[in-house]
Amino acid sequence: MAATFENLLYDLDAATGILTITVNRPTKLNALNAATIAELGQAIADARQDARVRGILLTGSGEKAFVAGADIAELAQLSGPGAQQASAQGQAVFRQFETSPKPVVAAVNGFALGGGCELAMACHIRVASENARFGQPEVNLGLLPGYGGTQRLVQLVGKGKALELLLTANQVKADEALRLGLANHVVPQAELLDFSRALLTKILSKAPAAVALTIACVNTYFDHGGEAGYTAEAAAFGQAFGTEDFREGTAAFLEKRAASFTGK
């Protein structure tokens, strides 16, 4: 049974296996405070352990903001050591989304700034509404991103553009985010959740073990470099051959029928 949350909505569709996690602080534009980050950590831990959860949709409440950033009033009270600890805690939580063997799609509705942009980037795929805005405005406050923004933004858009966005604090509109590779898709606000669920549903129609292994191999490349990535891919390729899903997938292909995967 999932924990009860104050700042999140946690809704599992038992029929599809899609869990929707909604950051729910609408009066604060869903800004991330320490309590919300802790709840995100609990939510993703629960989701990863719950066999009923097959995929995760992450979004923010309302139409104005996915997550508009960190709670600045709370940040202003931190000391240097306290800020370092908060950064490490946030990084650990976001890493749990990034390394989840179950696919995670961010439905970005409105502002995804600071920690919100970092949270979206930790998800495997980002779908943006037409009114979405991405950005890392930390230098405006005399800060820098603390939840992985300096690392993941480079991975997604390249070093030069990442440095420009990090150093200017410029916001990126949805169409530019799509062009840069920061967003995978841009859709009208009214279609955002349905489109995101449809995309996740398509992924969930594939072999779960193969999906999980693919996510792990991609992360290995970015964590450890090309050689480690190739080694991990070869090992995962061999591992996939030992699964029931491989036997079912190949049989279905040869028999010209739809595969029925079990995740084994």
- CB hemisphere CA count around 77 (13 angstroms): 6
What are the respective helix, strand and coil percentages of the chain, to the nearest 5? 55, 15, 30
Which residues are registered as beta bridge partners of 133?
Answer: 111, 173
Q: How far apart are CA 10 and CA 22, in angstroms?
A: 7
Choose the catalytic residue: 6, 118, 233, 255.
118
Burial 111-145 (b: 16+ CB within 10 A, else e): bbbbbbbbbbbbbbbbbbbebbbbbbbbeeeeeeb
Q: Are 128 and 186 in contact (CB under 8 A)?
A: yes
Indicate if 118 belongs to the active site: yes
Q: Are 150 and 144 in contact (CB under 8 A)?
A: yes
Q: Nearest 5°: phi and psi at 263?
A: 80, 15
Indicate if 233 belongs to the active site: no
Choose the catalytic residue: 6, 74, 130, 138.
138
Which residues have a catalytic role annotated? Answer: 118, 138
